[in-house]
Amino acid sequence: MAKVKASDIDFDNLGFDYFDLPYRFQATWKDGKWSEGELTQDNEVHINEGSTVLHYGQSDFEGMKAYRTKDGSVQLFRPDRNAARMQNSCERLLMPKFPTDKFVDAVKQVVKANEDSVPPYGSGGTLYVRPIMMGVGGNIGVHPADEYLFRIFAMPVGAYFKGGMTPTNFTTSEYDRAAHKGTGQSKVGGNYAASLLPGDQAHKAGYSDCIYLDPVEHKKIEEVGSANFFGITKDGKKFVTPKSPSILPSITKYSLLYLAEHELGLEVEEGDVYIDQLDRFSEAGACGTAAVISPVGAIEHNGNKHVFYSETEVGPVTQKLYDTLTGIQFGDVKGPEGWVVKV
């Protein structure tokens, strides 16, 4: 199939869809070491049918973005954090780690090679970058594979949740996403396979996605299937986000915790967010690389709908957090040292 050309992309109407851009990076782990890796045009992965990724889900991934700035250059946001989180995920699944400097260099190679597909400044779009790692080779036993593929591809994206900065509604799920001592902290494929059914139920019922509760008592909010959760207390003074061993440590969330405290002068708390105490909050949001900040209009739980600030308007603190975060990402606002890396 023909590759997607930048001239064919409608940058003003991007969703979150796969594009076969011209280049991706691939490195292989064999005999205990990584190959140098190289850019390739082939968007298909050819692997043995006995590969652990196919049977036992030995795979992890990352999600990050490249941003076009006003002067036309392109930059990444905290790519070293994605490298480190992938290394943690690899540790959990007994996969080899891809070194941080090589990870960041490979991401830059992919972005540069597809640079004309990085959406223009002001379009609201970004180039989403997806590093993946998988266990491959004829290895049918339930043991870690001997060989691995590390690949990075990219695609131009717009808003992940349809509303963008217009609030959308979420529902709690009766399913669990992950167990406390399971793999919730790791960005592994199996977590997302487990989230397909609850996510589908939420979508069919008209919600943007579901919100998972703690797997022990189903009393506390954990996170959204594709983003972390935060609330702003009624007095407008505190940024609160759940703390749990089974949620993914969101790079966006930790960036917001820092910005809320140091740029907006808010108090910050990582703690318990009880589903029957949502009255504490005047605003709520989902945050992540794909989600950016997506305001939560309301949460439906056990037949009760709790509306936060509004179902149609974003709240003032959420808006300020969004402006500060995206200002840094698109190069309009100076961020903390090292957050932004030029491609």
Residue closer to ligand PLP by CB (options 108, 253) is 253
How far apart (Å, rounded) are the C-alpha atoms in residues 104 and 152? 11
Q: Which is nearer to ligand COI, 137 or 163 (CB)?
A: 163
From the list ligand PLP, ligand COI, none, partner contacted by residue 169 (C-beta under 5 to 8 A by kind): none
Lay out the site mask for ligand COI across 97-136 (x = CB under 6 A, - = otherwise): ----------------------------------------
Partners of residue 343 on adjacent β-strands: none
- b/e per residue 179-200 (b: at least 16 CB within 10 A): eeebbbbbbbbbbbebbeebbe
The residue annotated as part of the active site, out of 97, 187, 220, 253, is 187
* Options 257-265, 271-279, 283-291, 318-326: segment touching ligand COI (CB under 6 A): 283-291
The answer to whether residue 187 is catalytic is yes
How many degrees, rounded to 5, is the angle at CA 286 between CA 285 and CA 288?
A: 140
- Residue from 37, 57, 63, 131 touching ligand COI (CB under 6 A): that is 63
Torsion angle defined by CA atoms of residues 213, 225, 178 and 241, in that order, rounded to the nearest 10 degrees: -50
Judged by CB under 6 A, the residue of 288, 297, 331, 335 near ligand COI is 288
* Closest distance to ligand COI from the beta carbon of 63 (Å): 2
Q: Which stretch binds ligand COI (CB under 6 A): 69-77, 170-178, 211-219, 287-295?
A: 287-295
Give me the DSSP letters along 108-176: HHHHHHTGGGSPPTTSS-EEEEEEEEEEESS--SSS--SEEEEEEEEEEE--SSTTTTS-EEEEE-SS-
C-alpha to C-alpha distances, 152 to 37, 106, 134, nearest whole angstrom: 11, 8, 12
Query: Binding to ligand COI by residue 289, rule CB under 6 A?
Result: yes
Q: Which is nearer to ligand PLP, 126 or 250 (CB)?
A: 250
Task: Please report, as ranges, the residues that interact with ligand PLP according to CB under 6 A.
Answer: 63, 223, 225-228, 248, 250-253, 288-289
* Least distance CB 244 / ligand PLP (angstroms): 11
Shortest CB 31 distance to ligand COI, Å: 31
Cα 128 to Cα 86, 185, 189, 292: the distances in Å are 16, 22, 18, 12
| Under 8 Å between Cβ of 284 and 170 | no
298 binds ligand COI (CB under 6 A): no
Pairing state between β 281-288 and 228-233? antiparallel
Query: Would you please indicate which residues are annotated as catalytic (active-site) residues?
Result: 187
By CB under 6 A, name the binding residues for ligand COI. 63, 226, 288-290
